[in-house]
């Protein structure tokens, strides 16, 4: 029989005192956690609203968000080329204090703008706000903008953070049809009434193009002209073509051009066709975009680099439809330039029926 007293807990305290003390500490910690979490949830769900000082206008953007924007803001950040097109055409380029672009490639190449756009819009690395792989919110704040114009290519959550946390009015422009582009021009014009003349002129010019295209399509229908099948693609890799599936913006463009989208019956909105599928579809017209600024894409942009079947000639060589190369921005960006270039696109799709520009 041992005469040694039983070993106590390492802390030296008797068990009866340790347990309540532990529970007390845990209780305090848990209570603090609940208080912190509850306060934080309240802050998140009920953010303080801060409207612009001075004259303001309430608009509904393309995602249905209600935005209170200052009238005629002097400092704006533009995060997408399609939006920059609108801003430039309305004569607002000098108000742009930052543009979204990934200037992280060697030599400061700009991956989001074609050479023409970079030159026309004076896009330089110095004006860039990094938006790859995620938007650099600090650089947006450092630009001290009064308004941010963006699309959903920029992460929607990040865009909303700017709106909610930093009280920056953010308008998202994401047209799903060509008419939607016209609506976006009018929306921007609502925020900038000082350029109402330019807005009206641009809207009128866009409407004329759309009406002209609609008339041409109507004539085709009236005369029973069969609509050509069209494949529109602006990027390809060794896997195949990327094209526009059903209910996409690209398909609405093809419809306006009086054509049938070969990818229109695919189940996906944005579809990568394989070579054999394209051969099977045998599109009568193939429109492919060129002139990416990225050196790798430039080196690989010719569809002839497209993968070959296991035997026989490369897919590209086997396609018998007419192949039309156009600036990539004309087939990938939903902006006024696209609508104004409808005659070029119509001639590409209907070379015999629509006169060249």
Q: Which residues bind another protein (CB under 8 A)?
A: 22-23, 26-27, 29-30, 32-45, 47, 63-65, 102-104, 130, 132-139, 141-142, 144, 152-153, 155-161, 163-166, 242, 268-270, 272
As a 3-state breakdown, the chain gives helix, strand, coil percent values, each rounded to 5, of 45, 15, 40
153 versus 344: smaller Cβ distance to another protein: 153
104 versus 294: smaller Cβ distance to another protein: 104
Shortest Å, Cβ 100 to another protein: 13
145 versus 258: smaller Cβ distance to another protein: 145
149 versus 213: smaller Cβ distance to another protein: 149
37 versus 211: smaller Cβ distance to another protein: 37
Shortest Å, Cβ 200 to another protein: 29
132 versus 260: smaller Cβ distance to another protein: 132
Shortest Å, Cβ 165 to another protein: 5
Shortest Å, Cβ 313 to another protein: 28
Helices in 46-127 by DSSP H: which ranges?
A: 81-89, 115-121
128 three-class SS: strand
66 versus 222: smaller Cβ distance to another protein: 66
Shortest Å, Cβ 153 to another protein: 8
Find residue 48's DSSP bridge partners.
none
- Residues 6+ positions from 268 with CB-CB distance below 8 Å: 245
Shortest Å, Cβ 58 to another protein: 15
Shortest Å, Cβ 28 to another protein: 8
Q: What are phi and psi of 77, to 5 degrees?
A: -110, 135
8 A C-beta contact, residue 100 and residue 149: no
Query: What is the Cα–Cα distance from 192 to 141, expressed in whole angstroms?
Result: 22
Dihedral sign from CA coordinates of 219, 334, 183, 192: negative
Reported as half-sphere exposure (CB side, CA atoms, 13 A), residue 258 has a value of 29
Query: What is the Cα–Cα distance from 251 to 337, expressed in whole angstroms?
Result: 17
174 three-class SS: coil
Query: What is the Cα–Cα distance from 94 to 144, expressed in whole angstroms?
Result: 15
């Amino acid at each position: 029989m041992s005469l040694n007293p039983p070993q106590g807990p390492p802390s030296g305290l008797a068990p009866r005192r340790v347990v309540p003390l532990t529970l007390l500490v845990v209780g305090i910690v848990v209570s603090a956690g609940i208080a912190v979490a509850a306060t934080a949830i309240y802050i998140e769900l009920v953010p303080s609203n801060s409207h612009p000082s001075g004259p303001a206008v309430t608009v509904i953007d393309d995602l249905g968000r209600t935005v209170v924007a200052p009238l005629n803001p002097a400092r704006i950040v533009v995060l997408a080329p399609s939006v920059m097109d609108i801003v430039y055409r309305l004569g607002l380029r000098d108000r742009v204090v930052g543009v979204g672009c990934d200037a992280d490639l060697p030599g400061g190449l700009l991956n989001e703008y074609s050479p023409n756009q970079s030159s026309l819009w004076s896009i330089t690395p110095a004006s860039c706000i990094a938006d790859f792989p995620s938007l650099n919110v600090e650089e947006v704040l450092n630009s001290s903008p009064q308004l941010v114009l963006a699309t959903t290519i920029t992460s929607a959550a990040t865009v909303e953070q700017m709106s909610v946390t930093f009280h920056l009015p953010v308008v998202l422009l994401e047209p799903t049809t060509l008419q939607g582009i016209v609506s976006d021009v009018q929306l921007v014009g609502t925020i900038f009434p000082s350029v109402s003349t330019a807005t009206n002129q641009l809207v009128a010019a866009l409407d004329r193009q759309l009406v002209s295209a609609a008339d041409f399509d109507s004539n085709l229908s009236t005369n029973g002209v069969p609509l050509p099948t069209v494949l529109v693609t602006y990027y390809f890799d060794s896997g195949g073509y990327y094209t526009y599936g059903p209910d996409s913006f690209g398909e609405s463009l093809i419809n306006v051009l009086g054509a049938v989208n070969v990818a229109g019956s695919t189940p996906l909105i944005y579809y990568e066709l394989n070579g054999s599928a394209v051969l099977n579809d045998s599109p009568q017209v193939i429109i492919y975009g060129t002139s990416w600024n990225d050196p790798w894409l430039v080196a690989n942009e010719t569809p002839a680099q497209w993968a070959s079947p296991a035997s026989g000639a490369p897919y590209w060589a086997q396609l018998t439809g007419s192949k039309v190369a156009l600036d990539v921005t004309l087939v990938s960006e939903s902006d006024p330039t696209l609508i104004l270039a409808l005659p070029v696109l119509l001639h590409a799709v209907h070379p015999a029926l629509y006169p060249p520009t």
